[in-house]
Structure 1
Amino acid sequence: MRLTCLALLLACSMPAAAHGLFDGHLGERLPLLLAALLLGLFWLLYELGARRVRPRPLERIGLHAAMLIAVFASFGPLDDWAETSSSWHMTQHMLFMLVIAPLWALARPFPQWRAVLGDLLRPLWQPLLRSARYPVALAMLHGSLIWIWHTPRLYLLALDNLWWHLIEHACFLLSGWLFWWSVLRASPARTPQALMVLLLTLMHTGLLGALLTFGSRSFYGAERSLADQQLAGLIMWVPGGLVYLAAAAWLGWRWMSRHWRRAARQQISR
Structure 2
Amino acid sequence: MTSLIRWPLLVVLLGWLPQPALAHGLFDGHFTERAPLFITAVIVAVAWGLYILGSLRIRTRRSDAAWFHGAMLLVVFSVFGPIDDWAETSTSWHMTQHMLFIVVIAPMWALARPLPQWRAVTGRVAQPLWSAVLRWGRYPVALAMLHGAIIWIWHTPSLYQLALDNLWWHAFEHACFLFTGWLFWWSTLRANPKQVPQALMANLLTLMHTGLLGALLTFASTPFYGESRDVADQQLAGLIMWVPGGLIYLLGAGWITWRWLKRMWRRQEASALSQRGL
TM-score, normalized by length of structure 2? 0.93
Distance 1:202 1:12, change over 3 A: farther
Residue 267 of structure 1 and its aligned partner are, at CA, apart by 5.2
Q: Find out whether 1:194 has 2:199 as its counterpart.
A: yes
In structure 2, list runs of 5 or more residues that go unmatched.
Answer: none
Residue 11 of structure 1 and its aligned partner are, at CA, apart by 3.5
Q: Find out whether 1:257 has 2:230 as its counterpart.
A: no
* Residues in 1 aligned to 2:227 and 2:165: alpha-carbon distance in whole angstroms: 16
Contact 2:189 2:255 in 1 (8 A): no
Equivalent residue, structure 1, for 2:249: 244
Divergent runs of 4+, >2 A: 8-18, 256-270
Q: Find out whether 1:8 has 2:12 as its counterpart.
A: yes
1:29-62 deviations in whole A, cap 9, x for unaligned?
0000100110011101111111111211000011
Q: Find out whether 1:147 has 2:166 as its counterpart.
A: no
Equivalent residue, structure 1, for 2:42: 37
* Residues in 1 aligned to 2:201 and 2:149: alpha-carbon distance in whole angstroms: 17
1:6-41 deviations in whole A, cap 9, x for unaligned?
213324544533412111211100000100110011
* Residues in 2 aligned to 1:265 and 1:52: alpha-carbon distance in whole angstroms: 33
Within 5 A, what are the aligned runs for 1:18-167?
Answer: 18-167=23-172
Equivalent position amino acid for 2:26 in 1: L
Task: After superposing the two structures, state which structure 1 stretch, 72-81 or 119-128, moved more.
Answer: 119-128
1:112-131 deviations in whole A, cap 9, x for unaligned?
11221111111222111111
Contact 1:18 1:80 in 2 (8 A): yes
Contact 1:212 1:233 in 2 (8 A): yes
Q: Which secondary structure does the structure 2 equivalent of 1:94 belong to? A: helix
Q: Find out whether 1:227 has 2:240 as its counterpart.
A: no
Distance 1:47 1:264, change over 3 A: closer
Task: After superposing the two structures, state which structure 1 stretch, 110-119 or 89-98, moved more.
Answer: 110-119
* Residues in 2 aligned to 1:36 and 1:12: alpha-carbon distance in whole angstroms: 13
Contact 1:152 1:219 in 2 (8 A): yes
Cα RMSD for the two superposed structures? 1.4
In structure 1, list runs of 5 or more residues that go unmatched.
Answer: none
TM-score, normalized by length of structure 1? 0.96
Distance 1:261 1:6, change over 3 A: closer
Equivalent position amino acid for 1:172 in 2: F
- How many aligned positions are there? 270
Task: Specify which of 187, 196, 201 is matched with residue 182 of structure 1.
Answer: 187
Q: Which secondary structure does the structure 1 equivalent of 2:87 belong to? A: helix
Residue 91 of structure 1 and its aligned partner are, at CA, apart by 0.4
1:221-247 deviations in whole A, cap 9, x for unaligned?
000000000000000000000000011
